Structures are given as structure tokens and as C-alpha cells.
Amino acid sequence: MTSVPDLNTCAGPGCTQEFRRLGDGKLYAFTVDEPEKWGLPPHLKQKVVWLCSQCSASLYVRLDRRRFRVQVVHRHAGAQAA
């Protein structure tokens, strides 16, 4: 995996859904201290990742802050955080 998912398309593996409007799926906005390491412009201290509604039902997004990578993680059935 070479490219970091961005807001234009769903971050789900193999998913090509395009982001069209707010309210679809789930939008994640992470504050980052070193935007350039995330491939962002220096002034943009926010990494935004989108999952389409289909993917967000079974996946969620978190950041690997040591490797500066977005991770898409499977939700485990029955392991919902209280």
C-alpha cells in the first residue's frame, strides 16, 4: 500500500465509492502535529478520512501515528465500546 486514502474516495480496502456530500457514511477528522508527514500542506493540521456508509458499518479508521499511516480496522462483532 503506497497511497494514503484521502477524502475523495472511501478509505475502505478495495472500495471506490466517491465522497459526494456530508452525511453519507462517516467522516473522521484527526488532528495531526506534523501535517507534512501525512502528505498534507504544512498549514493543514487535520487529517480527514472518509468511509462510505457501507464500509463504515463494518470498518472504522484510526491513525498509526508512529508510521504516519491511516489504518482501516474491522469492527469486531459484539465488541462495541460502551
Using CB under 5 A, which of 15, 27, 63, 72 touches Zn ion?
15
Nearest to residue 10, comparing CAs of 42, 45, 57? 57
Task: Provide the residue type at 27 as one letter.
Answer: L
Residue 34: exposure state from Cβ atoms within 10 A (0-12, 13-18, ≥19): exposed
Is the CB of 37 or the CB of 75 nearer to Zn ion?
A: 75
5 interacts with Zn ion by CB under 5 A: no
Using CB under 5 A, which of 5, 38, 55, 70 touches Zn ion?
55
Q: Which positions lie near Zn ion, rule CB under 5 A? A: 10, 12, 15, 17, 52, 55
